[in-house]
Amino acid sequence: MKNLWNRIREAAPLIHGITNYVTINDVANVLLACGASPIMAEAPQEAAEICAGCDGLLLNLGMPRPDKLEAMILAGREANRLKIPVVLDPVGVGASAYRMDSVSRLLREVSFSIIRGNLSEIQTLCRNTSSRGVDACREEGTTEDALLGLAKELAHQTKAIIALTGPTDVITDGDRTYSVYNGCPMLSKITGSGCMLSALTAACVAASPQDPLMAAVTAVTAMGVCGETATNRMTEQDGNGSFRVYLLDAVFRLTGDELEVKARYET
């Protein structure tokens, strides 16, 4: 994990992001904070060409629009052709039929290295892509076992690493599984902690494309550790405005050694 995190600063991967506008600035700054570089480009006219010059591709479904979806598919196919790793963040996929249709099309036309989502998003994907129907992904609980079942199911369906984040994070390739216990409640009090995590995931896997499972584990753990660091820094006057600043600062300052010491995960 230590080497994987340090590898980002050594490789300084360039990440092509097609992402929502709510958190686009945070996504760009968190990429710079961890040692990567961002380039945002969402016109179909340039999406494939921009992607071809990058080390990783981040597709974030927030605020979808037809031309952005087209750009995602063009960039995604080019990334697949050039073996550039692609990360999908299916933001709010359960909120509308349009988002579900968009993700379904993405999953048909692009191969993803890693899919990073919360429980509701992963459930929605699982339900909609399963050939065994709804029963394959029962929703009756959010026990760790239930989360694990969902994530494994989707990993088998998509052949991607699944990073299901929540109070406990579960990362699996369908066979090997990690649980990560780092994190803090404040992460849900700012917009963009999920988007930033997906960006970190893209940076990790772009710097270490040979090990997407550990790349996802490293990103998830790093975000949790940085959330804890930022929370510890808060004073009585601070709220989610300062937390957002401290979170970026924490990513900027995080070393591989510190990550290894503070990481709480098990296989």
List residues binding its own copies (CB under 8 A). 20-26, 28-29, 32-33, 38-43, 45-46, 49-50, 53, 62-67, 92, 95-99, 189-192, 233, 237-242, 244-253
The residue (of 30 and 161) whose beta carbon lies closer to its own copies is 30
Rounded to a whole number of angstroms, the minimum distance from the CB of residue 50 to its own copies is: 5
Q: Which is nearer to its own copies, 28 or 59 (CB)?
A: 28
Tell me whether residue 99 or residue 116 sits nearer to its own copies (CB atom): 99
User: C-beta of 23: minimal distance to its own copies in Å?
Assistant: 6
The CA distance from 58 to 61, in Å, is 10
If we measure between CA atoms, which residue out of 35, 57, 23 comes closest to residue 195?
23
* CA 162, 28, 70, 207 torsion-angle sign: negative
Between 84 and 170, name the residue whose CB sits nearer to its own copies.
84
Q: CB of 27 within 8 A of CB of 199?
A: yes
Residues in the chain: 267
Q: Which two tokens stand for residue 76?
A: 């995604």
- Least Å distance, CB 131 to its own copies, is 26
Q: For every residue of 187-202, which 3-state class applies, written as one string?
A: HHHCCCHHHHHHHHHH
Q: In the bound complex, what is the minimum distance in angstroms from residue 251's beta carbon to its own copies?
A: 7
Alpha helices by DSSP H, listed for the chain, are: 2-11, 24-34, 47-52, 66-81, 97-109, 119-129, 144-158, 193-207, 212-233, 240-253, 256-262
CB of 69 to its own copies, least distance (A): 9
Task: Decide whether 95 or 134 has the Cβ nearer to its own copies.
Answer: 95
Closer to its own copies by Cβ: residue 33 or 171: 33
φ/ψ of 30, rounded to 5, equals -70, -30
- For the CB of residue 38, give the shortest distance to its own copies in the complex, in Å: 6
